[in-house]
Amino acid sequence: MIAFLKRYEGIWLFAHSPTAIIAGIVALAILIGAVFAPWIALVNPYDLSSFSLFDGLLPPVWQEGANPKFLLGTDDQGRDMISSILYGARLSLVIGIAALTIAAVLGVGLGLAAGYYGGRFDAIVMRIADVQLALPAILTALLIDGIARGILPAAIQQDLRVAVLTLAIALSLWVNFARTARASSFVQMNKEYVQAAIMMGQRPSRVMFVHILPNILGPLLVITTVDLASAILLEATLSFLGIGLPADSPSLGTLIRIGMQFLLSGEWWILWIPTLFLVVLVVSINILGDFLRDVFNPRLR
């Protein structure tokens, strides 16, 4: 009975937390919209032939002069705002998730090893992490961007924009994973099941990944969720500053940067709608992250 309750505690808590449910639904809706963007969206913002300049600067439907075809209006190029946002979110999520995966693999691997071996290896990894933390993410991104520009032939630079951006974000996020994995595995190292495994003569990699890792998944899952929001924001920031993606393949950040030009010219929707969308997406992911943290840490309940 108790075991049953413990097992499904998370689901029960979720069902009784309206904020978590709303955040979950919003995040899920955005995810579905982004994944199925090519089928849902009216136009393909990357395909110049699918939209027309004559539809440019149309306001949302509730304003005068709107075209009911474009629910939230269009930008100066005549691109449907909804379509741009869906494609933008798709790109933002792809970059965010890819960056997060790289950061998680790198960070968890190094953190687990630091926790397992301790001593000098731990000290070296953690000092590198400290240095990484001292560098702002934007600086890291600029650095990688600069290096990429320097060593890659111009022809493939445009194609590699996404990869460079992803790598830059991953490099500034791995520290969180490494620190969490290290701290949690230190706790597990003192548990007798780990000592039993070491004593029996099991391979270090097996002790780390088969024995310790499943027991520290809780805090890592929380970090993953919260960092997904950070990754999306970071991508938006970099794109907004122009280091990220170009205007012809807009992510959410690029859309906001483009919208900035219309801030004072009456076409408010071009800036405000992508911005609100980004806020809603990040806030709902953060709420889910907070909820997960509460589930895994009963003391905060």
Partner 1 sequence: MLTIKDLAVKFPSRFGDVTAIADLDMTIAPGEIHGLVGESGAGKSTVGAAVIGLLSTPGYIANGDLTLGDTDLRSLSAHEAHAIRGARISMIFQDPQTSLNPLMTIENQLVETIQAHSDVNRSAAVKRAVDLLEEIGIKNAATRIKAYPHQFSGGMRQRVVIALAICTDPELIIADEPTTALDVAVQSQVLDLIRRLAKDRQIAFMLITHDIGVIAQVADRVTVMRNGRVMETGETQQVLMRPTHPYTRALMDAVPPLYRRITRFRVPDEAETLTPGTTPDNAAERWLLEGQQHDLTGLTLEDIHVSFPGTRTSLWRKPDPFVALQDINLTIRPGSIMGLVGESGSGKSTLAKAITGLIAPTSGTMILGDRVLPAGRARKRHDPSRQLIQMVFQDPYSSLNSRHRIGDILSEPLWLYGFVNDAAERRALSAAMLELVGMAPDAIDKYPHQFSGGQRQRVAVARALLARPRFLICDEPTSALDVSIQAEILNLLKDLQSVFGLTILFISHNLAVVRQMADDTAVLRNGRIEEIGKTESLFECPQADYTKKLITLTPVMPRTWKV
Q: Which of residues 211-270 bind partner 1 (CB under 8 A)?
A: 211, 214-215
Q: Cα–Cα distance between 267 and 131 in angstroms, integer? A: 44
> Would you say 166 or 188 has its CB closer to partner 1?
188
Q: Which stretch binds partner 1 (CB under 8 A): 20-28, 89-97, 145-153, 209-217?
A: 209-217
Q: Which stretch binds partner 1 (CB under 8 A): 72-80, 84-92, 165-173, 196-204?
A: 196-204
Total residues interacting with partner 1, rule: CB under 8 A: 20
Select from 191, 205, 261, 263 the one that contacts partner 1 (CB under 8 A).
191
Instruction: Give the Cα-Cα-Cα angle 103, 179, 96 (nearest 5 degrees).
Output: 25
Q: Cα–Cα distance between 90 and 251 in angstroms, integer? A: 8
Look-up of token digits 């990894």: 125
> Would you say 56 or 218 has its CB closer to partner 1?
218
Rg of the chain over all Cα atoms, to the nearest angstrom: 23
Q: Cα–Cα distance between 283 and 279 in angstroms, integer? A: 6
Q: Which of residues 1-60 bind partner 1 (CB under 8 A)?
A: 1, 3, 5-6, 12
Least spacing, CB of residue 277 vs partner 1, in Å: 38
193 counts as binding partner 1 under rule CB under 8 A: yes
Least spacing, CB of residue 206 vs partner 1, in Å: 9
Q: Which stretch binds partner 1 (CB under 8 A): 32-40, 199-207, 237-245, 272-280?
A: 199-207
Q: Enumerate the H helices of the chain as residue ranges.
A: 2-15, 18-35, 37-40, 81-117, 119-134, 137-151, 154-157, 161-189, 192-200, 204-206, 217-240, 252-260, 269-296
Q: Cα–Cα distance between 269 and 258 in angstroms, integer? A: 11
> Would you say 35 or 198 has its CB closer to partner 1?
198
Contacts with partner 1, residue ranges (CB under 8 A) = 1, 3, 5-6, 12, 191-193, 195-203, 211, 214-215
